[in-house]
Amino acid sequence: MSATATRHDWTLADVRALFELPFNDLLFQAQTVHRQHFDPNRVQVSTLLSIKTGACPEDCKYCPQSGHYNTGLDKEKLMEVEKVLKAAEEAKAIGSTRFCMGAAWKHPSAKDMPYVLQMVKGVKALGLETCMTLGKLDREQTQALAEAGLDYYNHNLDTSPEYYGNIITTRTYADRLETLSYVRDAGMKICSGGILGMGESVDDRAGLLIQLANLPEHPESVPINMLVKVKGTPLAEEKDVDPFDFIRTLAVARIMMPKSHVRLSAGREQMNEQMQSLAFFAGANSIFYGEKLLTTGNPQAEKDMLLFKRLGIKPEEREEHDDEVHQAAIEQALIEQKNSALFYDAASA
């Protein structure tokens, strides 16, 4: 069987045709494409940590961290480097291979960047893949993250260009694409996807996937989120996504971006085991693992492993370095932090 060609010229008509396929035909095609590029019984496992929570100046209508809405979320300052590294060690111990760090910023400030870079170096030293989501970046910040060893940068497009203005007004779609371009130019990998269940149409879901698949290079990681409705946000009363529509979107993403990891991301807590199993069959091969995604719940690690066992799925393995090398690198990262003589202003966010 010849491998499916990787395309960057998808049209709305092409993607509509995929969405309109009979469900069984769509899943068969997605699973066939999946098996051409991945072991169908391996799933990449990531852990996500909020390193700075709340009071974000963006007005994303889905986000409990936005300072525009009253969701009862406590505002927290940037975490200390040692605490982040401890959380990364714990994530590695439960089987994660990638450690993702998220900060509720529109963009990182100059005073925060040294700490962020120390986090990247320290987590990298543990033998974990590193990922960050910090908002909009400029070229200098992007290059600094790359030089520190950051593997992935997450910057979601969220939805189609046409529907985007209904969800966010404080950052443009062009801003998001610019950041993705900077990340790629700096040699890092891209993690970018979107959210289903925000009132968008099927054409908007198709439009999101077209934007991602028609980039010069496909994102290495494509998170597909199901809206987690949080009281106090404008989308708190939005209609639930139909489970079959969600699975269809995963399958179409797999077909359009055959070599990308498609991540079953936020909203997994609301999915039963049968829906998650269908998601894996549709081509999802990455999950967030642990008890919380930034500020919302996520199935506990033990529950995930039990499901994996029932399905015959195993976590993707990681390439590990010698433990002594890990320890030396961790110690060096902590020495750099102490020698920097930069003490974070507790009064700032």
Do 171 and 106 meet the contact criterion of CB atoms below 8 Å apart? Answer: yes
Q: Which residues pair with 124 in a beta bridge?
A: none
Q: Which amino acid is at 279?
A: A
Q: pLDDT tens across 200-240, in order?
A: 999 999 999 999 999 999 999 999 999 887 787 887 788 99
pLDDT one-digit tens code per residue, 74-110: 566 788 889 999 999 988 887 788 898 888 777 888 8
Torsion sign (Cα): 291, 229, 247, 159:
negative
Taking residue 167's Cβ as centre, other Cβ atoms within 10 Å add up to: 20
**For residue 105, what are its two tokens?**
């910023």
What are the pLDDT digits (tens) for 153-205?
999 999 999 999 999 888 899 999 999 999 999 999 999 999 999 999 999 99
| Sequence spans of domains, the chain | 12-341
Residue 310 is assigned to a ligand binding site: no
Can you give the pLDDT at residue 156?
A: 93
Cα 223 from Cα 196, distance rounded (Å): 11
Q: Is residue 176 part of an annotated ligand binding site?
A: no
Measured CA to CA, the distance from residue 23 to residue 20 in angstroms comes to: 8
pLDDT at position 342 is 42
pLDDT, position 74 = 56
Residue 90 CA: distances (Å) to CA of 53, 127, 161, 301: 20, 13, 38, 12
Return the percentage of the chain with pLDDT > 70, whole number.
Answer: 81
Q: DSSP of 231-266, one letter per residue?
A: TTSTTTTPPPPPHHHHHHHHHHHHHHSTTSEEEE-T
Give the CATH class of 12-341.
alpha beta
Number of C-beta neighbours around residue 344 at 10 A? 15
For residue 179 the two structure tokens come to 């950041």
Work out the pLDDT band at 340, boundaries 50, 70, 90. Answer: very low
Whole-structure pTM value? 0.83
72 pLDDT higher than 60: no
- Determine if residue 98 is labeled as part of a ligand binding site: no
Task: Give the pLDDT band of residue 71 (cuts 50, 70, 90).
Answer: low
Considering all CA atoms of the chain, what is the largest pairwise distance in Å, rounded to the nearest integer? 61
Give the catalytic positions in this structure.
56, 60, 63, 100, 131, 191, 263
Task: Report d(CA 86, CA 246) in Å as an integer.
Answer: 35
Q: Is 131 annotated as a binding residue?
A: yes
* 3-state SS, residue 224: strand
List, in sequence order, every residue forming a beta bridge with 50; answer none if it has no partner.
102
Any long-range contacts for 64-73 (C-beta under 8 Å, 24+ apart)? Answer: 64/230, 64/232, 64/233, 64/295, 64/296, 65/104, 65/294, 65/295, 66/233, 69/232, 69/233, 69/234, 70/232, 71/230, 71/231, 71/232, 71/233, 72/231, 72/232, 73/295
Residue 98, by phi and psi: left (phi above 0), alpha (psi -120 to 50) or beta? beta
Cβ neighbours, 10 Å, residue 302: 9
> By C-alpha distance, which of 329, 343, 348, 345 is closest to 88?
329
In the chain, the amino acid numbered 345 is: D
